[in-house]
A and B are shown apart, each in its own frame.
Chain A
Amino acid sequence: MAYKSILDWITFGNIMENPWYPFGDLYNLPFDISYKLWEIIGGALAWLINLLLPGNPVSTWLVADGTSVGGALLIFMIVIFLVVFICTLLSLWMERKVLGRLMDRRGTMIGLKGFLQCVADGLKTFLKENTLPKKIDKMTYMWTVALVIGVSVLIACMIPLSGRWFVVNYETGLLIIMAFFALAPFLILVSGWAQNNKYSLIGGMRAAELMISYEIPILIMIMTGCFLAGSFNIGDIVNAQRDIWYIVPMAIGFVTFIFCATAEAERTPFDIAEAEAELVEGWQTEYAGMKWGLIMLAEYFRGYVSCAMIVILFLGGWNIPFVSDNVNNLVPELVFLAKVWLVFFVMILMRGAFARVRTDQIVNIGWKVFMPLSVLNFVIVLLLKAGGIY
């Protein structure tokens, strides 16, 4: 093949025909975007090198199939992360605005209706001094918080936005996200110990206590959803509720799940692990500057995942009911995000309206209210399934 113009290097071929294409026979939009971006970068580089040294092997290596997929994966990583990051910043902005209105004030006002305030706050924490107390166990102190943030970002990246926007099309989709989601309380418990601060220790213990009380109901309700759909795969669960959302057979479960998901994300009224009125900042007391900023951000990542789980399990994911496939397949990503933000709006309303529960109340609510309700929800679904309606 002769390489003459730059267009011989940048071809924009069909990615599905690349033998190294990592998504099998499913089309992946973010990978397509990053593949084309890599073709522009790699192709231009190859063209330049070929101008200087005609006929060298580096240029052909840069546009080979395997190299293109490798480079595209690097850009894919940034694309996926950036989209999730911007969605999370938007929900952070939404929380500050709506909460402000609920408290009869205006919320953030600087730049783009207050959106740039979040960016400015992020930059401010970036410039803050790194405060390390003397008495901490430094290794554990740093690694636990890095893992709390890392795991939260990872699950946010693993949530698929639509049938064409995903990282891996897992057969164990919801289960693997749930497993990573439930990891944080253990890390918080260890982190509370490592900080050598009484408030942090109590905060860590409370995080474990919170997890003990909501984890079983949430797992039973996820099991019920998977039971209806017959699969753990998020795509299958969403497609099974193409016309009738699972909120119809699982109405009780929906209400319970909203509360459990709020607890899972450790938001008010279930933020007993960081109850700022009683425990200063709970398990975050000794974290300052950049570390604190990232913990706050991770909290919104977790809130985003909680809302996404509600949307996937109960609100039909990225599908709009009763419309033709042509309309449905236009921008499923935006439909999904709109639903996520709608649920997040409800969570903000809950934060504005409810008082924080006490530590002994949360265990009793979890085991004596949520747990029977989730079992009742499961029995209803079982009867529906046995009766042949689903």
Chain B
Amino acid sequence: MSLIMTYLPLVVVSIMALGFAPLAWLVSRLIRPNRPTAWMEMTYECGSEPIGEAQVQFKFQYYSFAIIFVVFDLVVTFLLIWAVAFGGLSTMATVWVLLFFAIMILGVTYALKKEEYLWI
């Protein structure tokens, strides 16, 4: 049996799942009222007149964590592959992966200690 046939149920279900929300909006268009006013179309800002635009340049205060996150995401990807292949691997392969993981942990510990005062 072909691979396409195996994944056909998933394709059908994902059409239903992803189409659920747009379909609900399309159907509700038939029965809901539509009387927009100037007040309704104003951006909400706790009842006062909105000041300026919100689509501005913004700063991620946690950028140092974001960088560690990107590095560690890759490490975990390697570990995930290693975890399922564990049964067929030699002892040396396991030792290398664990060494790699330990070095990464050490690096993160150092970075977190160093970045402790960088948080704004």
Say whether, besides A129-B34, A197-B43, A200-B54, A291 and B25 are in contact (CB < 8 Å): yes
Q: Are A154 and B18 in contact (CB under 8 A)?
A: yes
Stretch of A35-43, A208-216, A248-256, A318-326 that contacts chain B: A208-216
Q: Is the CB of A49 closer than 8 A to any CB of chain B?
A: no
Q: Which residues of B contact A224 (CB under 8 A)?
A: 83
Say whether, besides A77-B13, A198-B54, A226 and B83 are in contact (CB < 8 Å): yes
Q: Are B84 and A231 in contact (CB under 8 A)?
A: yes
Q: Which residues of A contact B50 (CB under 8 A)?
A: 197
Q: For B20, give its contact among A80, A81, A130 (CB under 8 Å).
A: A81
Q: Are B83 and A80 in contact (CB under 8 A)?
A: no
Q: Which residues of A contact B18 (CB under 8 A)?
A: 146-147, 150-151, 153-154
Q: Are B21 and A145 in contact (CB under 8 A)?
A: yes
How far is it, in angstroms, between the C-alpha of A208 and the C-alpha of B58 when the chains are bound? Answer: 13
Stretch of A18-26, A90-98, A112-120, A302-310 that contacts chain B: A18-26
Q: Is the CB of B112 closer than 8 A to any CB of chain A?
A: yes
Q: Which residues of B contact A220 (CB under 8 A)?
A: 76, 79
Q: Is the CB of A105 closer than 8 A to any CB of chain B?
A: no
Q: Are B84 and A212 in contact (CB under 8 A)?
A: no
- Determine how close the nearest CB of chain A comes to the CB of B102; give it in whole angstroms: 10
- Determine how close the nearest CB of chain A comes to the CB of B89; give it in whole angstroms: 11
Bitwise interface map of A from 188 to 207 toward B, beta carbon under 8 Å scored 1, else 0: 00000101111111000100
- Determine how close the nearest CB of chain A comes to the CB of B42; give it in whole angstroms: 7
Q: Which residues of B contact A80 (CB under 8 A)?
A: 13, 16
Bitwise interface map of B from 9 to 43 toward A, beta carbon under 8 Å scored 1, else 0: 11011111111111011001101111110001111
Q: Are A133 and B42 in contact (CB under 8 A)?
A: yes
Q: Are A223 and B86 in contact (CB under 8 A)?
A: no
Q: Are B44 and A212 in contact (CB under 8 A)?
A: no
Q: For B12, give its contact among A20, A73, A132, A280 (CB under 8 Å).
A: A73
Q: For B119, give its contact among A137, A280, A360, A385 (CB under 8 Å).
A: A360
Q: Is the CB of B60 closer than 8 A to any CB of chain A?
A: yes
Majority-rule SS of B interface residues: helix
How far is it, in angstroms, between the C-alpha of A208 and the C-alpha of B81 when the chains are bound? Answer: 26
Q: Is the CB of A127 closer than 8 A to any CB of chain B?
A: yes
How far is it, in angstroms, between the C-alpha of A196 and the C-alpha of B28 when the chains are bound? Answer: 25
- Determine how close the nearest CB of chain B comes to the CB of A140; give it in whole angstroms: 11
Q: Which residues of B contact A382 (CB under 8 A)?
A: 98
Q: Are A146 and B22 in contact (CB under 8 A)?
A: yes
Q: Are A280 and B65 in contact (CB under 8 A)?
A: no
Q: Are A146 and B76 in contact (CB under 8 A)?
A: no
Q: Are A294 and B21 in contact (CB under 8 A)?
A: yes
- Determine how close the nearest CB of chain B comes to the CB of A123; give it in whole angstroms: 10
Q: Which partner residue on chain B sits nearest A168 by CB separation?
A: B10
Q: Are B8 and A196 in contact (CB under 8 A)?
A: no
Q: Are B14 and A154 in contact (CB under 8 A)?
A: yes
Q: For B7, give its contact among A168, A195, A197 (CB under 8 Å).
A: A168
Q: Are B9 and A168 in contact (CB under 8 A)?
A: yes
Q: Is the CB of B69 closer than 8 A to any CB of chain A?
A: yes
How far is it, in angstroms, between the C-alpha of A232 and the C-alpha of B6 when the chains are bound? Answer: 18
Q: Are A367 and B112 in contact (CB under 8 A)?
A: yes
Q: Which residues of B contact A132 (CB under 8 A)?
A: 36, 41
Q: Are A77 and B15 in contact (CB under 8 A)?
A: yes
Q: Is the CB of A290 closer than 8 A to any CB of chain B?
A: yes
What 9 A-B pairs come out closest when comparing CB atoms?
Answer: A150-B18, A227-B83, A154-B17, A153-B17, A149-B21, A134-B41, A77-B16, A219-B76, A212-B69
Given contacts A290-B25, A290-B28, 7 further A-B contacts (CB under 8 A): A22-B5, A154-B18, A168-B6, A168-B7, A196-B53, A232-B80, A360-B119
Question: What are 15 of the A-B contact pairs (CB < 8 Å)?
Answer: A22-B1, A76-B13, A81-B17, A81-B20, A133-B44, A150-B20, A151-B17, A196-B43, A197-B44, A198-B54, A199-B45, A215-B69, A216-B73, A290-B25, A367-B65
